[in-house]
Structure 1
Amino acid sequence: MRSIRAAAVGAVTMSLALAATACGGGSSSGQGSNDSPKTLTYWASNQGASIAVDKKVLQPELDKFEKKTGIKVKLEVVPWSDLLNRILTATTSGQGPDVLNIGNTWSASLQATGALLPWDAKNFARIGGKDRFVESALGSTGVQGKDPAAVPLYSMAYALYYNKQIFADAGIAKPPATWDELVADGKKIEAKGKSVLGAEGSNVSENIHHVFVFAKQHGADFFTSDGKPNFTDPKVVDAVEQYVGLMAKDKVVPPGDAEYAQNQSVSDFAKGKQAMLLWQSAAANLKSQGMSEDAYGIAPVPVQSGTPGTGAQTNSMVAGINIAVFKNSHNLDGATQFVKFMTGDDEQKILNKAYTTIPPVKTAQQDAAFDAPADAVLKSTLATSAAALPQVASESQFETAVGTAVKELFADAAAGRTVTTDSVKAQLEKAQQQMPAA
């Protein structure tokens, strides 16, 4: 099963040079420049606990595709730590795979390189139509108003995971629905000698995911309607201050979590060291670390007030993996057939079940295999209260700059330095100055 690194799912820091990158023409010697209509190369992202697990999941499905079409798929599972650099190298050299997986938040930035096949109405028709896909998943496939740069493959959402025994011992009857309730529950949990909430303060991508949600809950956006950075908007500042304040002010996140960046908070939660965890589609991750499904509950991420919904009640970014085609592939027909196969109802059920993700294909998502309580929370979140990260060409630079600013603010909090509105604003102003000119 999958053991997802938070730094990797749906968002990995991208080179600042990306926006200026352009894709050259294909070369017959390239890895994906395949002159044979009977072979394809496929870079799959590492969704499982190991590359070996992914091969075990994927190879039988690729064999099915070969038996059905006569096209052999050469599989390479690429670690998330390498995937983005490999893709960037391929976009500049013109020598990449035919088909590849990308984190969905990369869509707009990679779209700007011109390297990926646009999914216009004609191409979508070849895989069964655009209306097969859940609207929220389509929102993370590229810049609004342009043909998508990729097709949704696996969907994920954030949820609040809570330790049932720790809650019972603290006399807490139900998971918190608001941040005020979470902080109040935290006092009861701490009185029983347990830590309250895990975080990954040094994980740039996790930081972005959370402050994006807090900004939505404050009615703010990091970018203006014309795509310009707006990081010092007072509501954005308030949102970042509230998130970092979970450690700095409310004391529900342990100071040591400021150094966490590689699944350590998941490990702490799985071992019963912390009562709550904010994570995206964590079931497989927790299982891989030995935590029984009976030991924890799952609930929507808290909001400011009321219940999760659209607008200010947003409680997750739209997380997930998209599948894309290099447009300089010499086997575009075969690549399109492969995308159709991977996004078909049968494969969507098989693959998303294996990875404990949610199918972005409507009919597959409605299958009884995805009716477990945890799936119900994630499906509801994706359908009603999740929002796509900014679909702008500079999205990757935004992740780097703001995510690092939050990391530094967590470091201040852990060191006992006061985190104030002014210090938050100063960090966000510094981040905005690092953004490329329009």
Structure 2
Amino acid sequence: MKSVVSKKAAAAILTGVLALSGVLAGCSSDSASNKKEETTTINVWGMGEEAKSLPKIAEQFEKENENIKVKVQAIPWDKAHDKLLTAVASKKGPDVIQMGTTWIPEFADAGALKDLTPYLEKYPELATENFYEGSVETTKYENIIAGVPWYVDTRVLYYRKDLLEEVGYKEAPKTWDELRDAAKKLAARGKDQYGISIDTNEQSLAFMFARQNGSKLIDGNKTLFNEKEFVEAVEYLNGFFKDGSAPIDLGIDIIPAFKEGMLPMFISGPWMVKIINDQTPDLEGKWGTAVLPAKENNTSTLGGSNLSVFEHTKNEEAALKFLSYMSKPETQVKWLEITNSLPANKEAWEDKSLQENEYYKVFGEQLENAQPMPVIKPFERIAQTFLSSFEKVYRSGADVQKEMDEFNKKAEDILNK
């Protein structure tokens, strides 16, 4: 018997179908909404002491980005390089990585770091003009931007105001000649008295002075370490040892030597400000920081750390949001409060905590004239090779030109391997 459905019944069926469709559509909509609200967890690898403080900043980021959680993994600096190599090989690693400035070339060359260039418009906090030029240089490799500056350090002159005034310097030395003269006069005070500390383990020191003397260090595939500008800088540094203005092996740490006046001048980074204030409070008002003395210029070295996004991250958007947050001036000022690390963001330096601090303010001035060491893969090895050559000069009295000829040949071989 043929089934017949009345128009009224058909209408009722159609109404039911439409109602069910609405319910299903609502479920689908709710599912999409729930999906959007799902929490994304990004893994951040932090190195050394910074990693211990990073969760404090990450908590603030999470409050502003409720759907993103940050998991910080602390990795010792001496283990970090090998761990990163393993991550590159397996294509399994963190979403965000803290990178030492000298590591960028190696890992960018290996394809481990995401090029941030396509994202600069969407994330304006990452724009290169927000940061000191020297800091930006440390993030570049060939045609890509492989990271964003996080915090910086540079080198300035620390000096005892009271002791320099006693030898005729009411202000810090402003030129190479003045630095040499002041060091000689301070060393002439008597036995076991010196003028300045020249840190022979600071691998960037001679390269920094060479730049002040007009050296380009490296030109393409050609090393320039045996040319006049570089050789003169090495001779200048060695001169402090030769005339007794600087000790070769003092046998005492720099802080007590600075406190007792044995070493009234030294060149170092921002971390020494807190150390001096904490360990020698009785020196308050008797010491200061100054931009480096100049020859042709007073260029200082520039270091610090960058933040990069791992090329194989599955959480690209969340990782970029985290980098953007860490790049904000107010975030970098907060990081300064927590860790005493200097901001890479130029606007952050307008904060009164920096402008009203006589010691840190000098670092901001020096950052206007600071450059990283050459951003090339083999430079670390070149710098270590120099330290061996320089030791022959200051410890054994080897001829500077001869040693630099030999060092230059070794450096060129390293560069062109």
The TM-score normalised by the length of structure 1 is 0.77
Find the partner of 2:63 among 47, 67, 81. 67
Cα shift at 1:237:
2.3
Partners of 1:117 and 1:325 within 8 A in 2: yes
Report the secondary structure of 2:81's partner residue.
helix
Cα shift at 1:142:
2.0
The question of 1:46 aligning with 2:48 is answered yes
Q: Aligned partners of 1:190 and 1:132: how far apart in 2?
A: 44
Distance 1:221 1:112, change over 3 A: same
Q: Aligned partners of 2:121 and 2:257: how far apart in 1?
A: 43
The question of 1:340 aligning with 2:333 is answered no
Report the secondary structure of 1:333's partner residue.
helix
Q: Deviations over 1:284-312 (max 9, x none)?
A: 343454455534211111122xxxxxxx3
The question of 1:357 aligning with 2:341 is answered yes
Find the partner of 2:186 among 189, 193, 208. 189
Find the partner of 1:99 among 96, 101, 107. 96
Partners of 2:157 and 2:267 within 8 A in 1: yes
Q: May I ask how many residue pairs the two structures share in their alignment? A: 373
Cα shift at 1:220:
1.2
Q: Cα RMSD (Å) of the superposition?
A: 2.7
Tell me the equivalent position of 1:413. Answer: 394
For 1:240, the aligned partner's letter is V
Q: Deviations over 1:151-185 (max 9, x none)?
A: 00112221100123333444532211122212221
Q: Aligned partners of 2:274 and 2:287: how far apart in 1?
A: 13
Aligned counterparts, 1:15-414, within 5 A: 38-47=40-49, 55=52, 57-69=53-65, 70-123=67-120, 125-128=122-125, 129-143=127-141, 146-193=143-190, 194-201=193-200, 203=201, 206-207=202-203, 209-224=204-219, 226-247=220-241, 249-256=242-249, 264-265=253-254, 268-269=257-258, 272-281=261-270, 282-291=272-281, 293-304=284-295, 312-371=296-355, 372-383=357-368, 385-406=369-390, 408-409=391-392, 412-414=393-395
Q: Aligned partners of 1:341 and 1:160: how far apart in 2?
A: 33
Partners of 1:270 and 1:289 within 8 A in 2: no
Question: Identity rate of aligned residues, in percent?
Answer: 25
For 2:48, the aligned partner's letter is N
Compare relative contact order (CA 8 Å, sep 6+) and give the higher one, 1 or 2. 1
Cα shift at 1:97:
2.2
Partners of 1:103 and 1:322 within 8 A in 2: yes
Q: Aligned partners of 1:77 and 1:246: how far apart in 2?
A: 41
Structure 2 portions without partners, runs of 5+: 1-37
Report the secondary structure of 1:428's partner residue.
helix
Cα shift at 1:327:
1.0
Q: Aligned partners of 1:270 and 1:107: how far apart in 2?
A: 38
Q: Deviations over 1:342-397 (max 9, x none)?
A: 112221110023333332223222222210222222111111x2223212233333
For 2:227, the aligned partner's letter is D
More helix per residue: 2
**Bigger radius of gyration:** 2
| Higher deviation after alignment, 153-162 or 363-372 | 363-372
